Amino acid sequence: MPGYTHLEGLTSADIARLRATYAPLAESVRHLIDATIRSEVDADEVAAVKADIDRATARLQAKQIDGPFGVRFTSDGDRLPWGNPAIGLRNPIAPPLVMVKDPDGAIHTDFHLGAAYEGPPGHVHGGIVAMVLDHVLGEVAASDPDSPRFTGTLTIRYLRATPLGALHAEGRITRTDGIKAFASGRVSDADGVTAEADGVFILPKWARR
């Protein structure tokens, strides 16, 4: 499968070093995204800041991966989905979601969404809610790294608007049937569930044995 790069020879210490280098950069860019949306400084100041950002971008581009990040594996088999827009620690678009596996096989994540994820005023864009649920359900359905499953069908029921701020999402497999896994999940705030989802996830042909 193209794009699944094995980083042979990278030790756990190398991975830790790369994480310590790039995670703080992405976090800084997340703050910049928020400020870009909310700033009220004048046009001259915005133009000056834009020029600084363009210079910063050029410095980062001096040496870069050819193409998107892909999913990289270490020689120990660790997965590094660092470019992922839901969980990628190098992707400033990602909140990033941190997935926690529960003893019973379910997965949950506690996260915070700010101005960058706003649809209806003060509330999370319905499409971002969909992205969170797609990712949580996909992750629980693909919990066996040798059997990556991709989303077949995803149905989301929006019970009420999801407020910006502290949120929780969780998912679990409800049933498997050959190449299919059925998963369900939900997003909630402190007052309860705001959206529910059911998904059917399918093992791709290239991964079937």
Sheet of 4-7, strands arranged across: 4-7, 71-74, 79-80
CA nearest to 172, candidates 147, 197, 191, 155: 197
**Structural element, H or E, at residue 164:** none
Cα(111)–Cα(188) distance, integer angstroms? 11
Told to check if 59 binds a second copy by CB under 8 A, we report yes
Query: Using an 8 Å Cβ cutoff, are 134 and 151 in contact?
Result: yes
Told to check if 26 binds a second copy by CB under 8 A, we report yes
| DSSP letter for each residue of 7-19 | ETT--HHHHHHHH
Instruction: Give me the least distance between CB of 103 and a second copy, in Å please.
Output: 26
Cα(106)–Cα(40) distance, integer angstroms? 43
Nearer to a second copy, 22 or 145 (CB): 22
Told to check if 105 binds a second copy by CB under 8 A, we report no
Contacts with a second copy in 146-175 (CB under 8 A)? 148, 150-158, 161, 164
Which of 7, 15, 32, 193: binder of a second copy (CB under 8 A)? 32
Total of residues contacting a second copy (CB under 8 A): 90
Stretch that binds a second copy, among 30-38, 100-108, 169-177, 179-187 (CB under 8 A): 30-38
Cα(108)–Cα(175) distance, integer angstroms? 18
Paired tokens of 58: 């050029």
CA nearest to 164, candidates 115, 126, 129: 115
Nearer to a second copy, 103 or 170 (CB): 170
Contacts with a second copy in 115-144 (CB under 8 A)? 115-122, 125-128, 130-135, 138
Stretch that binds a second copy, among 7-15, 55-63, 102-110, 166-174 (CB under 8 A): 55-63
Told to check if 35 binds a second copy by CB under 8 A, we report yes
Cα(160)–Cα(166) distance, integer angstroms? 16
Told to check if 55 binds a second copy by CB under 8 A, we report yes
Told to check if 145 binds a second copy by CB under 8 A, we report no
Contacts with a second copy in 60-79 (CB under 8 A)? 60-65, 67-71
Told to check if 3 binds a second copy by CB under 8 A, we report yes
